[in-house]
Amino acid sequence: MPSAVQPSSQRDLIYLSDEQKKVTVNWKLKRAEKSDFFEIVTVPVHIVDNHYDAREESNTIQRELAPLCRLVKEYLAGSQRKGDAILQLVLPLIRGFGARGNAFRDQLNVYGSYLRYLDRSEFGKEYQPPTQQMAATLADTIPFSVCTVLVDPSLTNQSGIQFKLFEIVSFPWIMQEQPQWKICALVHGRDSIEAFQPIAETAHDLGIKLIVLDSPGHWLLMSPQYRNLYEEFEPIDMTIDEDFPRRIANTVHAVATRRGRIDGICTVSDRCLLPVSKAATALNMPTGPPYSFATAIDKAASRHLCADEGISFLSVRQPAELRNHLKAGTFHAQYPLIVKPSTGWSSEHVFRVKDEAELCLAAERVATRRNTKILIEPFVDGPEVDANFVLCDGELLFFEASDDFPSPADGPGAGMESNFFETANVLPSALPQVEVDRIRDRLYRLLLDMGFRTGVFHLEARVIDSSMEFAAGQDGILDLRPRFVTEQQPRDGSNRAKCFLIEVNPRPPGFQSVYATRLMYGIDYFALHLLAAVGDNARIRGLGQSFWDRIPIVFPSSVGGPEKGFWCSIVFITGNKGGICDSTDPVSDLLARSPSLKPFISTGMSFFKKGDEIPHATPERLVFLGFFLVLSWAARTDVIDVAQQIRKEFRMAII
């Protein structure tokens, strides 16, 4: 299809009186790249100090250029930029409709201060290609732009930074048929606005209306300021019992009868995964088989599927049963061991024990939880990874592995009072590619063996006999480093490394990780999870592939190798003291005290505001005060070092 944008002598002028700048866009120097359904028009922009000339004013007062004016102001804000910039317009070449709102956000945010963009994509919005006559000038063309980007020319010269807008936006953001709004029941409205808002906003971007099912008196009902985030709220008894799936199904059926339809049911709560699957099955709605969820959430059942690994473990219902095994010699304990609930979450009630006394005491503590077996398995001291998968009809669309940094219970000599709560996570993993591939292949096969075919899955694993280990280097930074090199154990781990499953979560990871993966790969796990719930596999395929699949980029094979690519660290801020939060904005306070950290921080969030009650931490449950996403295009050590500084400098006053 021929480009709608043709050469023109038009020169657009914009005056920014507040910034005392004049912006010249030389439209005749534009060039275009095109695909089957879109083109990108690139135009040079010159920004100079404003020497106001009233005779030129009539050329600048154009309503159509107002979006560009705002974009230039954002581009200049807080920087010393002047001189040239690059303007790029994403224009449709075919008539179609928006596949989702904020379609380009997750593709562009990773470039941070190097660019500013205006994402005008909307779900269901009709996109029209401009004709040659319509695109005679910049002012005529901008209204047709689905995404307008202003780029710092230095971006293309930055070492390791790959910016190719054409490849970045080469995904199906336009649909030929008018999409229809879907309705999805969300069981469990989450415990905070920080956890609920990204799901709700993503649903709106996808054209999915949320019906929230949760307890009467839920905080959403008491927060009218968030009423716009969901369609309806249906109170329901959230007691986790055998009748819970029936209550969900009955409530959803009643709402569907009243509204005409509901297209699916979903949850991101571990406790609700199996009940929701049973309810969706009863209503003939999209879901994985209930037996698959039952196997995944029962760690003992998952361990049985890994019998070929030769890992010995024991599952008992009561501490007395464990003592009988020990007395009879039918369980040969090899310490250290891990004792945990067979059905548990968030590393709660997970103990590392070093002898029989601690083993029996830990079993007693786990037994205080309702309706769970006690799982006893070896402690594996190899590197831990988070492994996330996107499947569609059994096909692996996307996989990522990130490094979970050691928790207190990983330390030498750690006992059962230490915990396994997360401290930091770095994307992507620095394990050798051969070890990452073994993790991917083993866990992918396990998901298929469980019966899963479509959805987002968050798994945790460790590597037995890895060629890497966490150790401090000469710079004092703790990170993965080569463990040893012998003829029997090559550095690339190709000889002995094996994947050891920790747990399977048939849901997206926590929202902090969702934000990180959006930033790193342009993949929105919440979007794909919601689309799976309503059976929209076509959009899962369209939105389930990373833009890095279209842009060649090489990540280092190990920490010791050359670095090319970029890195992200999820920094978890935890607290021990409970009380009342007396800080207005801890994130802004941190940046004011340590401005040198600001260029590295993509996201910072405090979970408590002034006046909020902060619970006391316990050995079984940690309190998270906030989190940060730290980004670097230069080196993995940058994000680790900045993460350490954030933990050191973060302050939240508690009275």
Where are the chain's structural domains?
Answer: 11-175, 182-287, 297-378, 384-549, 567-649
Instruction: Please tell me the predicted confidence (pLDDT) of residue 527.
Output: 99
Q: Is the pLDDT of residue 485 over 60?
A: no
For residue 495, CA distances in Å to 448, 467, 486, 596, 608 come to 26, 9, 11, 43, 48
For the chain, the straight-line distance linking the first and the last C-alpha, in angstroms and rounded, comes to 66
| C-alpha–C-alpha distance, residues 225 and 391, integer Å | 36
Distance of CA 115 to the CA centre of its chain: 22
The pLDDT tens digits of the residues spanning 77-115 come to 756 566 688 999 999 999 999 999 999 999 999 888 789
454 compared with 47, residue with greater pLDDT: 454
Q: Which of 61-75, 303-317, 454-468 has the lowest mean pLDDT?
A: 61-75
The mean per-residue pLDDT over the stretch 214-219 comes to: 96
State pLDDT tens for residues 554-563: 544 444 443 4
**pLDDT computed for residue 46 by the predictor:** 87
What band does 72 get if pLDDT is binned at 50, 70 and 90?
confident
By three-state DSSP, how is residue 515 classified? helix
Residues facing 119 on adjacent strands: 147
Q: Confidence band (pLDDT; 50, 70, 90) for 136?
A: confident
Rounded CA-CA distance 375/352 in Å is 12
Structure tokens at 576: 């021990």
pLDDT class of 22 with cuts at 50, 70, 90: confident
pLDDT at 32: 87
Percent of the chain topping pLDDT 70: 88
Helix (H/G/I), strand (E/B), else coil: 461: strand
**Could you give the C-alpha distances from 571 to 370, 452, 480, 601, in angstroms and in order?**
32, 31, 17, 10
3-state DSSP call for residue 555? coil
pLDDT of residue 87: 93
- What pLDDT does residue 24 have? 83
- What lies within 8 Å, CB to CB, of 496 at 6+ separation is 464, 465, 488, 489
Angle of helix 511-521 relative to helix 525-533, nearest 10 degrees? 110
Q: How far apart are CA 426 and CA 593, in angstroms?
A: 25
Least confident of 80-84, 97-101, 265-269, 646-650: 80-84
Q: What is the rounded distance in angstroms from the CA atom of residue 299 to the CA atom of residue 342?
A: 5
Residues 6+ apart with CB under 8 A from 386: 401, 402, 404, 425, 458, 459, 460, 509, 513
Angle at 202 between CA 587 and CA 395, to 5 degrees: 115
Cβ atoms 147, 225 nearer than 8 A: no
Determine which of 188-197, 527-536, 544-553 has the lowest per-residue pLDDT on average. Answer: 544-553
Among left, alpha and beta (phi > 0; psi -120 to 50; other), residue 580 is: beta
> CATH number of the domain at 384-549, please?
3.30.470.20
- Picking from 643, 597, 630, 593, the residue whose alpha carbon sits closest to that of residue 477 is 643
The dihedral built from the CA positions of residue 627, 117, 47 and 87, taken in this order, carries a sign that is positive
Q: How far apart are alpha carbons 495 and 497 in whole angstroms?
A: 6
pLDDT exceeds cutoff 90 at 549? no
Query: Of the given ranges (197-206, 305-314, 527-536, 593-602), which has the lowest mean pLDDT?
Result: 305-314
Query: Do 561 and 491 touch, CB atoms closer than 8 A?
Result: no
Which pLDDT band holds residue 497 (cuts at 50, 70, 90)?
Answer: very high
**pTM score above 0.85:** yes
Look at residues 263, 181, 202, 207 and name the one whose alpha carbon lies nearest to residue 534. Answer: 263
pLDDT score at 566: 84
Q: Which two tokens stand for residue 483?
A: 């463990």
Q: How far is CA 48 from the centre of its chain?
A: 39
Instruction: Look at residue 114 in the predicted model and tell me its pLDDT.
Output: 85
pLDDT for the residue numbered 12: 65
| Max Cα–Cα distance, the chain, nearest Å | 99
Predicted confidence band at 486 (pLDDT cuts at 50, 70, 90)? low
Residue 321's pLDDT is 95
Q: Which residue has the higher pLDDT, 414 or 431?
A: 431
Cα 587 to its chain centre, rounded Å, is 20
Q: Give residue 8's pLDDT band: very low, low, confident or very high (50, 70, 90).
A: very low
Q: How far apart are CA 385 and CA 302, in angstroms?
A: 17
Into which CATH architecture does domain 182-287 fall?
Answer: 3-Layer(aba) Sandwich (3.40)
For residue 360, the one-letter residue type is C
CA–CA gap between residue 73 and residue 19 (Å, rounded): 8
Strands (E), 478-600: 478-482, 498-505, 567-575, 579-580
CA dihedral 431, 432, 433, 439 (to 10 degrees): -50
369 CB neighbour count, 10 Å cutoff? 16
Q: Which residue has the tokens 């299809």?
A: 1
Any idea which of 160-169, 256-265, 504-513, 523-532 has the lowest mean pLDDT? 160-169
Nearest one of 29, 14, 25, 26 to 73, comparing CA atoms: 14
Q: In terms of C-beta density within 10 A (0-12 exposed, 13-18 middle, 19 or more buried), how is residue 206 classed?
A: buried
Whether the Cβ atoms of residue 38 and residue 90 lie closer than 8 Å to each other = yes
Q: 9 falls in which pLDDT band (50, 70, 90)?
A: very low
Distance CA 537, CA 588 (A): 41
Torsion of CA 606, 608, 610, 611, to 10 degrees: 180
Please enumerate in sequence order all residues whose Cβ is within 8 A of that of 595, keeping only pairs 6 or more positions apart, or say none.
none
In one-letter notation, the amino acid at residue 82 is: K
At residue 288, the pLDDT reads 97
What class does CATH assign to 567-649? alpha beta
Count the residues in the chain: 655
CATH of span 297-378: 3.30.1490.20
- Sorting pLDDT into bands at 50, 70 and 90, what band is 495? low
pLDDT of residue 7: 37
Q: Check if the beta carbon of residue 625 is closer than 8 Å to that of residue 604.
A: no
Instruction: Enumerate the H helices of 548-613 as residue ranges.
Output: 586-593
The count of other CB atoms within 10 Å of the CB of residue 308 is: 6
